[in-house]
C-alpha cells in the first residue's frame, strides 16, 4: 500500500446500463510543490468498475471537507453523501477535472482534507476516496 492513501469500498449509483467506476487512489504529495495558498492533489484512475469490468472514466469530482474536520475521515460514509451533498454539508465539490490532478487555490493557511470520485460516461459516480492525512497549506 502507498503511504498516505486510503481506499474506500467501491460503489456507485444505478442506471445507465453500466456499472459505476471503482474509487480512484489518491497519491500525495504531488510531483511538484504547489504555490503558496494552494493544495495540489494527484491520483490514479480506477482500472475496474464495481462489477469487475474495465473502467472507462470520463472525469472526476474533487471534494473538500469543511475546514476543521481533521484528521481526515477513514469511514467516509459518515461525512459525504454522494450527489448531491446537501447545503451546509461537510463536503463540497470544488472541481470536476477531466484528468487525474487538481489544484485548489486561494486557501487560507491550515489543514484541508480532500477526496476524489470517478465518473463514467453515464454520470455514475464512484464512492469517494479521501486522504488519510490533511494537506497543510502555508
Which range of 20-29, 58-67, 76-85 scores highest in mean pLDDT? It is: 58-67
Label each residue of 16-54 as H, E or C: CCCCCECCCEEECCCCCCCCCCCEEEEEECCCEECCCCE
pLDDT-derived band of residue 63, with 50, 70 and 90 as boundaries?
confident
State the Cα–Cα distance between residues 10 and 23, nearest whole angstrom. Answer: 6
Beta strand extents in 45-113 (DSSP E only): 57-65, 91-95, 101-104, 110-112
Over residues 63-91, mean pLDDT = 55
Question: Higher confidence at residue 45 or residue 129?
Answer: 45
All cell numbers assigned to 27: 497519491
Task: Please give the class, per CATH, of domain 25-137.
Answer: mainly beta
Amino acid at each position: 500500500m502507498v503511504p498516505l492513501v486510503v481506499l474506500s469500498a467501491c460503489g456507485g449509483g444505478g442506471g445507465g446500463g453500466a456499472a459505476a467506476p471503482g474509487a480512484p487512489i489518491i497519491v500525495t504529495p504531488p510531483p511538484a510543490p504547489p504555490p503558496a495558498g494552494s493544495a495540489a492533489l494527484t491520483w490514479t484512475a480506477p482500472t475496474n468498475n464495481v462489477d469487475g469490468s474495465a473502467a472507462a472514466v470520463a472525469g472526476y469530482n474533487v471534494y473538500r471537507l469543511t475546514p476543521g474536520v481533521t484528521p481526515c475521515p477513514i469511514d467516509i460514509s459518515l461525512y459525504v453523501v454522494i450527489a448531491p451533498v446537501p447545503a451546509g454539508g461537510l463536503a463540497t465539490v470544488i472541481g470536476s477535472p477531466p484528468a487525474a490532478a487538481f489544484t485548489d487555490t486561494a486557501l487560507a493557511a491550515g489543514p484541508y482534507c480532500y477526496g476524489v470520485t470517478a465518473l463514467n460516461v453515464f454520470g455514475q459516480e464512484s464512492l469517494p476516496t479521501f486522504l488519510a492525512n490533511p494537506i497543510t497549506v502555508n
